[in-house]
Chains A and B, each alone.
Chain A
Amino acid sequence: MAILELKNIVKKYRIGNEIITALDGVDLAVEAGEFIVILGTSGCGKTTLLNIAAGLEKPTRGEVVFRGVTISKLKEKKTVMFRRKQMGFIFQSYNLLPALTAQENVALPLVFDGVKPRERVLRSVKMLKQVGLMERREHKPSQMSGGQQQRVSIARALINNPRIIFADEPTGNLDTRTTLDIMGQLQRAVKENGQTLVMVTHDQEVAEFADRIIYMVDGRIVEEKQGGTHL
């Protein structure tokens, strides 16, 4: 059964008198437990598609159905609960809070969820161990390398045990060795827990980790390929 369904998504932006069509009728069904990679050239609409799928942006036309709920029609107040409890996010630029330590950053989604401090410590320690950053837990983002920061953000994305994880070019700023390292960790974690992962990249090598590869050109899906060579 599909955990996430995009039905004929159209997204248009208006800049002055000009109208830009970022997405031009996208249909996609993501199966539970699946690892999907979206590949495409810069500006073809990958980030836009991810944002709409996560309920961060509303489509101009079309529907997003997540676990049977049409989240594209929900108010912001409701979508926030989906993001808090069932979704995880990883970004190209890590997006950690600079004022917080690694451990505090990892635990932040639990803070918003109202989890008690004791349990937050236990769970964030477990996540930090999993990404191998226990000895860095008191460090601020500015005191860590890009690869370390991204591992912190992976731990943050996974701490609330989400059903689905959206990752927008998580390895875009990293070298090949670190990329493979991070991809390995992410894939292992997701597969162990039966979580769904939707990842945007334009790195062909990264795409090899996926179960399925989606190719986009100018706001449309043009091709689909079964992957899994790294499994």
Chain B
Amino acid sequence: MKNYDLLLLANKNLWRRKGRTVLTVLGVIIGTASIVVMLSLGIGLVESQKKQMSQWGSLNIIRVQQSWDFPGQEDGQQKRLTDEAIAEIREIEGVTAVSPAIEVGGEASFGKKMGHIMLVGLEPALMEQLEFSVSHGRLLNQDDRFNVVAGSQVINNFWDPRQRSNPWNWEEPPQGDSLELLNKRISLSLYNNKQQKRIYSLNVVGILSEKTMEHSWYVYAPISELKKMREFTNQGRQEEVYFQEYMEKDPGGRSSSSSARAKKEEQYSFALVRTNDVADTRRISRQLRDSGYNAYSIADNLEGIEEAARRFQAILGGIGAITLLVAAIGITNTMVMSIYERTREIAIMKVIGASFREIRWLFLTESSLIGLLGGFFGLGLSFALSSLLNHYGSSFVNPGGMMPGQEAIQISVIPLWLVGFALLFSIGIGLIAGIYPANRAINLDPITAMRHG
């Protein structure tokens, strides 16, 4: 028997009892819709959390710091962020870019305003890859020296001393216009431990967009200049003397004090690692922590959220599954009734040459068709319910309305894979529900059926 004949015959049989078939399909529609809508709520939860997290920062960036030094710790146990370490991290699979970073902070002035800034040195050419983006001006490039890019909140670090208002007035938080800084100069004063002072004049060539909050309070500059600045501030540093003494006193200390100092000098404040995707971020972040770094990524939080969502989905999916189970029992019942009515017919088909296989598949096809129809229209219902939920439910999850330009948070999200899954699942349910009736049909004795039919 050809497959299309099987399908045509099954379809024809299905519509002999229209009312019953429609009711059975309706059961599957409700079952499918309840599973899909329930799962879509869980997916919507994860998606909205992801969206919120990506407002705090990129999900593809890992921030790596060396673990804290403490006396008594064996040298080599703690990972130091040296050029060597940076090169090592760059080799990890899934890492697309690594930039070491040096932080230096100091008093600053801008026009007549006073304040302070945190200056962060990065590889200027890597800024774009590290997901920096400007709202105005441009990012740094290879040739920049004292050109900088300022975060969107940096302007709020400055205040006008001539105005009476207190800069730390909590009732009225300062709200400067970050554009004020663009193409202006910031003077940064640095002191070393010998009380010498140097003034750097920094030219602001770009303002970072507000998309990522983690960058908004910093000023970014080329790392080559930051190295020189740090060299200056470290001159005559007390800590260095202590460090030197400590290394000399330590009986187990294998490294000489001078090499230790050299090591200390070439270390970086932190490093930014760019990865391919969220999954890589989580894997590499864990890997770096395991090998002794302080690695942190916003994506790390996803784990907990996804775990919670999974549990949420399992409960909701379970409720949906029960509905679908009831629908499956409905299919089985319909098929058994149909076989009971068609006993004689099945016997005739057997006598004139239908094999067990064909009889079985005829009934399995009928029950799968019920599943498919239920799945198809169930998905239609799901999309309708989903858009209703998103329309009327948005006031619950977006209290106080939406900010202009902000994307609405979707309560219910039906991704393409869920569509495919729902269709296959409902067909599968139909198929499974048909097994028992189909076996009944093939076990029918044609002779007895024809005698008493």
Cβ-based interface call for B241 (8 A): no
Which secondary structure dominates where chain B touches chain A? helix
Tell which of B2, B5, B447 touches A56, judged by Cβ atoms closer than 8 Å. B447
Cβ-based interface call for A130 (8 A): no
Do A112 and B353 touch (CB < 8 A)?
yes
Q: Could you tell me which residues of chain A, from 86 to 116, have a CB within 8 Å of some CB in chain B?
A: 89, 91, 93, 95-100, 108-109, 111-114, 116
Cβ-based interface call for A156 (8 A): yes
Cβ-based interface call for A191 (8 A): no
Do B352 and A109 touch (CB < 8 A)?
yes
Cβ-based interface call for B85 (8 A): no
Question: Shortest beta-carbon distance, B172 to chain A, in Å?
Answer: 82
Cβ-based interface call for B345 (8 A): yes
Do A80 and B353 touch (CB < 8 A)?
yes
Residues of A within 8 A of B450 (CB): 91, 95
Do B348 and A112 touch (CB < 8 A)?
no
Query: Which stretch, B47-55, B69-77, B354-362, touches the partner chain A?
Result: B354-362
Residues of B within 8 A of A109 (CB): 352-353
Tell which of B9, B12, B13, B351 touches A83, judged by Cβ atoms closer than 8 Å. B351
Do A80 and B354 touch (CB < 8 A)?
yes
Tell which of A99, A100, A111 touches B5, judged by Cβ atoms closer than 8 Å. A111
Do A83 and B356 touch (CB < 8 A)?
no
Cβ-based interface call for B446 (8 A): yes
Question: Shortest beta-carbon distance, B15 to chain A, in Å?
Answer: 9
Do B348 and A95 touch (CB < 8 A)?
yes
Over the window 338-377 of chain B, the binary record of Cβ atoms lying under 8 Å from chain A Cβ atoms (1 yes, 0 no) is 0000001100111111111010000000000000000000
Q: Which residue of A lies closest to B357 (CB)?
A: A77
CA distance A108 to B16 in the complex (A): 18
Residues of B within 8 A of A98 (CB): 345
Q: Which residue of A lies closest to B448 (CB)?
A: A57
Residues of B within 8 A of A51 (CB): 447
Residues of B within 8 A of A160 (CB): 353
Q: If A98-B345, A99-B13 touch, does A114 touch B355 (CB 8 Å cutoff)? A: no
CA distance A57 to B451 in the complex (A): 13
Cβ-based interface call for B1 (8 A): yes
Residues of A within 8 A of B1 (CB): 111-114
Do B13 and A56 touch (CB < 8 A)?
no
Cβ-based interface call for A84 (8 A): yes
Question: Shortest beta-carbon distance, B158 to chain A, in Å?
Answer: 84
Question: Shortest beta-carbon distance, B39 to chain A, in Å?
Answer: 39
Question: Shortest beta-carbon distance, A99 to chain B, in Å?
Answer: 5
Q: Which residue of B lies closest to A47 (CB)?
A: B451
Do A97 and B348 touch (CB < 8 A)?
yes
Residues of A within 8 A of B13 (CB): 99
CA distance A156 to B353 in the complex (A): 12
Q: If A56-B446, A95-B450, A114-B2 touch, does A83 touch B16 (CB 8 Å cutoff)? A: no
CA distance A186 to B50 in the complex (A): 78
Tell which of A57, A84, A96, A117 touches B353, judged by Cβ atoms closer than 8 Å. A84
Do B353 and A76 touch (CB < 8 A)?
no
Do A89 and B351 touch (CB < 8 A)?
yes
Question: Shortest beta-carbon distance, A156 to chain B, in Å?
Answer: 7
Residue total for B at the interface (Cβ-Cβ under 8 A):
24
Residues of A within 8 A of B353 (CB): 80, 83-85, 109, 112-113, 160
Residue total for A at the interface (Cβ-Cβ under 8 A):
29
Residues of B within 8 A of A100 (CB): 12
Residues of A within 8 A of B5 (CB): 111, 117
Do B355 and A95 touch (CB < 8 A)?
no
Question: Shortest beta-carbon distance, B174 to chain A, in Å?
Answer: 82
Q: Which residue of A lies closest to B3 (CB)?
A: A114
CA distance A97 to B2 in the complex (A): 19
Do B9 and A111 touch (CB < 8 A)?
yes
CA distance A108 to B2 in the complex (A): 12
Question: Shortest beta-carbon distance, B127 to chain A, in Å?
Answer: 67
Question: Shortest beta-carbon distance, A149 to chain B, in Å?
Answer: 13
Do A80 and B16 touch (CB < 8 A)?
no
Do B358 and A99 touch (CB < 8 A)?
no
Question: Shortest beta-carbon distance, A163 to chain B, in Å?
Answer: 14
CA distance A84 to B357 in the complex (A): 14
CA distance A95 to B346 in the complex (A): 11
Tell which of A83, A95, A112, A156 touches B344, judged by Cβ atoms closer than 8 Å. A95
Q: If A97-B345, A112-B349 touch, does A57 touch B447 (CB 8 Å cutoff)? A: yes
Q: Could you tell me which residues of chain A, from 37 to 84, have a CB within 8 Å of some CB in chain B?
A: 47, 51, 56-57, 76-77, 80, 83-84
CA distance A57 to B5 in the complex (A): 28
Residues of A within 8 A of B447 (CB): 51, 56-57
Question: Shortest beta-carbon distance, A95 to chain B, in Å?
Answer: 5
Do B352 and A76 touch (CB < 8 A)?
no
Question: Shortest beta-carbon distance, A111 to chain B, in Å?
Answer: 5
CA distance A136 to B262 in the complex (A): 104
CA distance A108 to B352 in the complex (A): 8
Question: Shortest beta-carbon distance, A102 to chain B, in Å?
Answer: 15
Residues of A within 8 A of B358 (CB): 112
Q: Which residue of B lies closest to A159 (CB)?
A: B352
Apart from the given pairs A80-B354, A84-B352, A111-B5, 13 other A-B contacts in the complex at a CB distance below 8 Å: A56-B351, A56-B446, A76-B356, A77-B355, A80-B353, A80-B355, A83-B351, A89-B351, A89-B352, A96-B348, A99-B13, A111-B1, A112-B352
27 cross-chain CB contacts under 8 A:
A51-B447, A56-B446, A56-B447, A57-B447, A77-B355, A77-B356, A80-B350, A80-B353, A80-B354, A80-B356, A83-B352, A85-B353, A95-B348, A95-B450, A97-B348, A97-B349, A99-B12, A99-B13, A99-B345, A100-B12, A111-B1, A111-B5, A112-B352, A112-B353, A112-B354, A112-B358, A114-B2
Residues of A at under 8 Å CB distance from B? 47, 51, 56-57, 76-77, 80, 83-85, 89, 91, 93, 95-100, 108-109, 111-114, 116-117, 156, 160
Closest 9 pairs between A and B when the two form their complex, measured CB to CB: A84-B353, A112-B353, A95-B348, A80-B355, A112-B354, A109-B352, A111-B5, A83-B353, A112-B1
